Chains A and B, each alone.
Chain A
């Protein structure tokens, strides 16, 4: 009968397949292969916090957050139980390494009364540690089909219809599963030591910045090459056969000088993302969130916040989404409030734009900026009052991540960055170029007489206490609220030979460090914490940013 139900649904072309399972079973990895998506994955419990769906070949696949039982401990689990209600077929994704524990959930899923199949992941890892799993016997024990295959084969099975005619038999567990060696490896022991883990983290971050920013290291070296390639070589090649002065300025200054110059930060961002991906995929982040729990407990948060904050180095909006796994709303709100103090990847080109003209080696200053952001966020969370957040979460074993996974993730990060620059940043540069090259009577004029200069001078007085007297800088900083990369792009476009005094540069960096995040982070914050709370944070951060920048500039006077 179940087969029939599935087949009818198929002809209606709206079969809804929901992937459900324990946290860190590999649901999102499976979802990504089934639907060719690039949702965020990680070797960590609770990476996925919202359900996502995608239609492929007439079948809607739904990825859901990890689930332990049908009654929820954290907010994200509620979301997963909701999704199950609308399912036509439930694919129970199970981690082979912890199969026995996930059977609990499997029995619950079967009792929902919908067709259920089991898909086992990480069977290779189980084999390597000497474990064994018998697919057919497990299938008879549960009374449902069990798949240990590639995602492609699973997809084919779902499309062609699955045979649910399986006789349930009483089989002892030892006949279909043996766990192998479950012991703690040497790497595990090392990273579970809280002092080593904290020390390792600080060193890893320092090494990451060293490789990215030290002028003799790979990041800075490749950045120089890319910049010459995009701005100079491509620029002169494109403009060589153009006659019109306005057109040349549009291509050379507007598109290549602005958006193109931001693209040249790709090598340095790649180093940053590579480190974050390695932390994530190796399970070190998971160990770290346990080891540093004591630090966060002091500010009424939990080790999970470490995961959110480190995600914040990549993208604040994505980091805000990770807070959904928290068990209390108060802790979630506090974490969202402190996240903008963690400089995201997009702020990196901005810091470099401000600091590069002054420092031959910006590595120490940038490292200092990042660590002060981290320290400040902890300080602010200490000042914010609220209930305690508990700690009750699984920790994954440390593994050597496969090169394939890491490169794939890195590729998607960088692709996202390029798409963003080619889209919104280029568009913004074009708009800025237009307003900075035309007057109110639409005549082509030098920038100083343009519409933009007149408009920007209105807000310029706000920046006087930071020592900024150039309207172009004030305008660039303002653009940062759309996307932080805009600051670097606009400065590169409007001010070709950009240089600042030390006081102004440090003061502007402080402002960038403290100011509210970009529009996509703000909208993520509205979704997670509501408009009122977001606005309150936004205004407070703006005030803190201005005051902080004024103070720093005073120190340098």
Chain B
């Protein structure tokens, strides 16, 4: 499943980041890479983006990019 499919408050580990280009570089420099634990904090109006937290970082990610971040739910 992708990070976009998580429900509010759910946490998951990143399995694969299939993001390319400059967005990939930004995610990397924010430490959002495979193996990290992310929590979904909120959805924006009309569910266009999600807000996730990963460590101290809180990042708003548009649907298209969020759908290419594959995660595995925490047991």
The interface of chain A, by Cβ under 8 A from chain B, is 68-69, 71-73, 97-98, 100-101, 104-105, 179, 182, 184, 188-189, 192-195, 198, 289-295, 297-298, 302-303, 327, 390-397
Complex contact A392–B45 (CB within 8 A): no
Complex contact A101–B57 (CB within 8 A): yes
Complex contact A101–B31 (CB within 8 A): yes
A69-B25, A397-B58 are known contacts. Are A298 and B42 too (CB-CB below 8 A)?
Answer: no
* Interface membership of chain B positions 39-75, coded 1 if the CB is closer than 8 angstroms to chain A and 0 otherwise: 0011111111101010111111110110000000000
A294-B48, A391-B60 are known contacts. Are A101 and B30 too (CB-CB below 8 A)?
Answer: yes
Cα distance A292–B41 in the bound complex, in angstroms: 15
Cα distance A188–B56 in the bound complex, in angstroms: 14
Cα distance A100–B31 in the bound complex, in angstroms: 9
**Complex partner residue of B58 from A105, A292, A394, CB under 8 angstroms:** A394
Complex contact B25–A184 (CB within 8 A): no
Complex contact A71–B62 (CB within 8 A): no
Complex contact B45–A73 (CB within 8 A): no
Shortest distance from the beta carbon of A24 to any chain B beta carbon, whole Å: 11
Cα distance A182–B55 in the bound complex, in angstroms: 7
Q: Does B1 contact A (CB under 8 A)?
A: no
Cα distance A168–B69 in the bound complex, in angstroms: 36
Complex contact B46–A294 (CB within 8 A): yes
Complex contact B43–A194 (CB within 8 A): yes
A194-B42, A294-B46 are known contacts. Are A68 and B29 too (CB-CB below 8 A)?
Answer: yes
Q: A68 to chain B: which residues have CB within 8 Å?
A: 25-26, 29-30
Q: B48 to chain A: which residues have CB within 8 Å?
A: 293-294, 297, 391
Q: B22 to chain A: which residues have CB within 8 Å?
A: 71-73, 327
Cα distance A392–B47 in the bound complex, in angstroms: 15
Complex contact B42–A192 (CB within 8 A): yes
Q: A391 to chain B: which residues have CB within 8 Å?
A: 48-49, 60-62
* CB<8 Å pairs between A and B, sample of 5: A98-B55, A184-B41, A184-B53, A294-B46, A394-B59
Q: B18 to chain A: which residues have CB within 8 Å?
A: none
A297 to B, closest residue via Cβ: B48
Q: B45 to chain A: which residues have CB within 8 Å?
A: 194-195, 198, 291-295
Cα distance A212–B49 in the bound complex, in angstroms: 35
Q: A194 to chain B: which residues have CB within 8 Å?
A: 42-45
Q: B59 to chain A: which residues have CB within 8 Å?
A: 392-395
Complex contact A179–B56 (CB within 8 A): yes
Task: Give the 10 A-B CB pairs with smallest separation, nearest first.
Answer: A294-B46, A294-B45, A294-B48, A192-B42, A297-B48, A391-B62, A293-B44, A73-B22, A290-B60, A69-B29
Cα distance A390–B57 in the bound complex, in angstroms: 19
Q: B47 to chain A: which residues have CB within 8 Å?
A: 294
A68-B26, A290-B44 are known contacts. Are A297 and B31 too (CB-CB below 8 A)?
Answer: no
Cα distance A289–B61 in the bound complex, in angstroms: 12
Q: Does B28 contact A (CB under 8 A)?
A: yes
B61 to A, closest residue via Cβ: A392
**Complex partner residue of A390 from B28, B30, B62, CB under 8 angstroms:** B62
Cα distance A395–B26 in the bound complex, in angstroms: 14
Complex contact A192–B41 (CB within 8 A): yes
Cα distance A184–B28 in the bound complex, in angstroms: 23
Kindly name the residue among A100, A392, A396 whose own CB sees the greatest number of chain B CB atoms within 10 A. Answer: A392
Shortest distance from the beta carbon of A109 to any chain B beta carbon, whole Å: 12
Cα distance A393–B41 in the bound complex, in angstroms: 14
Cα distance A101–B55 in the bound complex, in angstroms: 9
Q: B42 to chain A: which residues have CB within 8 Å?
A: 192-194, 290-291
Shortest distance from the beta carbon of A465 to any chain B beta carbon, whole Å: 39
Cα distance A72–B21 in the bound complex, in angstroms: 10
Cα distance A298–B57 in the bound complex, in angstroms: 27
Complex contact B25–A293 (CB within 8 A): no
Cα distance A53–B50 in the bound complex, in angstroms: 37
A390-B23, A394-B30 are known contacts. Are A192 and B56 too (CB-CB below 8 A)?
Answer: no
Complex contact A291–B44 (CB within 8 A): yes
